[in-house]
Chain A
Amino acid sequence: MTGQAAPADPAEVESVFREVYGQAVATLIRVCGDITVAEDAVQDAFVAATDRWRRDGIPPNPAGWIVTTARNRAIDQHRRSARGRELERDAVDHSGPQFEPSAGGQEDEGPVTDDRLRLIFTCCHPALRTEHQVALTLRLLGGLSVAEIARGFLVTESAMAKRLGRAKYKIKAAKIPYRVPAEPDLRQRLRPVLSVIYLIYNAGTDELEDRAPLRQEAIRLARALASLMSDEAEVAGLLALVLLNESRVPSRSGDGSIVLLRDQDRSKWDQRLINEGHAIVRDCIENAQPGPYQLQAAIQAVHCAAEKFEVTDWPQIVTLYDHLFSVMPSPVVALNRAIAVLEADGPAAGLVALDGISPDLGNYHLLHAARATALRRLGRIDEARDAYATAADLATVVSDRDYLLLKVSELDGGET
C-alpha cells in the first residue's frame, strides 16, 4: 500500500501532523458533526500514526490516512451508543460523491480543502467574540496546543482551555452552521476571517523568536485561504501583507532588542518572500479592487523595494496612506501616515500631522516615539527627551521599552 518502506524521522512526522491537522479536524467535524469528538478522533489517529509511520514511513497521502483512521476511531468510540449508530449511518451517507475513500484509504483533495474553508468561517463567526475566534482558529485549524496558544496571548493554560470550551459550547448550543456563507453575506463574513488571521500574525511579532509558530500559522492560513478563494482580492492582499512583513523579520531583532526599519540590515531580508509578495501586489494593482489589506500590502511593498532606508519612496507611501485612511480612518493609520509625512516632507510637516491625530491615541507609545523623532530633528532636544520618556512609560513590550529608554539616555548625554 505504501510506496516507500523507509522509516520516517520523528521531526518529519511532527511537521506532517501540523500540516494535516486542520484538514483532518475539519473533515471529521463534517462527518461526525461534533468538534470535540472530531478533535479526539484526530488525536487518536495521530497516536496510531506515530508508531506506524516511524516504522513504515509516511504514506503518500498522510491527510487521507489520518482522516480515514480518525473516522474509524470516531465510529468505534461511539458504536455502542445510539449516537454511535447514527454516526455510522451519517458517515456512510457522507461517503457518496463528496467523500469517497480511494483504494488506499486516501481522500480526494477537493472536499478536504473545502472543509477547512467551512471550519474557518465557523471559527470566525461574528456571533463569537474576537478572542474566541482567534483561539478556536489556532486550535482547530492550526493544531496548536492549548499551552502554545495560551503563551501567545499571555493567559494561563486553564484560562485558555476555558475560553476554547466556551466557544465550542456556543457553536454547539446556538447551532452555528458549518458551511461557507452564501454570496450576499460572503464579503461581510470574510472580514472577521481576515482580521483573525492578521491578529494571529501580529500576536506573533511581539516576541519574535518565541512566537514564531503564530506567525507561521497565520501565513499558512493566509496561503490556504488565498488558494481556496482566489477571486477575493482582499484575501490576496492579506497574504501579500503577511509575506512582506515576514520578509523583514530576520533583520528585526539584534541582541534581544528591536532594530528599527531605518537601521535594519536589508541584506538579511528574505528576498524569496519579497518577490512573492511583490508579485501578489502587482496582481492586485492590475485587478483594481483596492481594500485595506491590499493597500497595507502595497505600502509594505514600497518599503521592501528600497535598497536603503534613504531611497524609500516616501511620497508614494504618503499617497498610499491617504488612500488607506479614506477606507480605514483609524487613528493608527493616521499615525503611520504622519510618520511617512515626517520622512517625505521633513520634521516640521511631520509634527503638524502628528499633532493633528485624534487624542484617542494619547496612550499609545508609538505616537510619543514619533513626536520625539520629529522634535529631535527640529533640535528641540528637551521636548524630544520628554516625549521618549513618555513613550517608554507607555510601552508594554519589554524590548520596545528598552529601546525607548536608550533613546532617553542618548539625549541626556547629548545635552552636555
Chain B
Amino acid sequence: MSHYLLSTFGSQGEPSSETPPPEAMQAMMERTVALEAEMDATGTFVFGGHLHGPDATTVVRSSDTEVVMTDGPFVESKEHIAGFYIINAEDLDAALAWAAKVTECIGRPIEVRPFAGTGRAVDHMPNA
C-alpha cells in the first residue's frame, strides 16, 4: 500500500461570488459523507481536511540569526490548496480511481501526488 495526497485548489476571492446555494451545499455534503464512509470501509481514508484561505496563513523562516514570521502563504498566487485527503491505495490506478470519485463529488479538479515517505523520520533512518 502507498500513500497519496489528493488535494483540491480554491481561488482567491472566489468563495463569496461562487458559494453554491444551500440545497446544493447540502447535497454535496451528503455525497461527501457517503464517499468518506466508502473510504473508511475500504481502509482508504487516512486523514482529510478543509483549509482556511491564504489570509489566515503565516510563513515562518529561520536564518542563521533569527526566526522571521511573515503574513501570507509561500507564494502569492491566485490559487491555493483548499482541502485534501491522504489516502492509502494499492497503486496509482487505485489512487486515480478515488480522485475521480472525489472530483465527481465536489466538482473541482483533484491533484494526485504520491508520498515519498510517511510517518516519522526515525522509521526512515538508514540502519546504523
A residues with CB within 8 A of B: 125, 127, 173-177, 181
Contact = CB atoms under 8 A, between A and B. Distances in A.
Contacts of A181: 93
A175 B96 contact: no
A127 B114 contact: no
Interface string B82-117: 000000001111011000000000000000101010
B78 to A, nearest CB: 24
Interface residues on B, range: 10 to 19
A175 B91 contact: yes
Closest 3 CB pairs of A and B: A177-B91, A175-B91, A174-B114
Contacts of A177: 90-93
B2 interface: yes
A176 B116 contact: no
From DSSP, what is the main secondary structure of chain B's interface residues? mixed
Nearest to A185: B93
Nearest to B96: A127
A173 B116 contact: yes
Nearest to B127: A82
9 contacts: A173-B116, A175-B91, A175-B92, A175-B114, A176-B91, A177-B90, A177-B92, A177-B93, A181-B93
A125 B116 CA distance: 20
Contact of A173 (B90, B93, B95, B114): B114
A27 B122 CA distance: 36
Nearest to A82: B127
B41 to A, nearest CB: 21
A121 to B, nearest CB: 10
Contacts of A174: 92, 95, 112, 114
Contacts of B95: 174
Interface in B62-97: 90-93, 95-96
A127 B91 CA distance: 12
Nearest to B94: A177
Contacts of A176: 91-93
A397 B2 CA distance: 47
Interface string B1-25: 0100000000000000000000000
Nearest to A178: B91
A125 B96 CA distance: 12
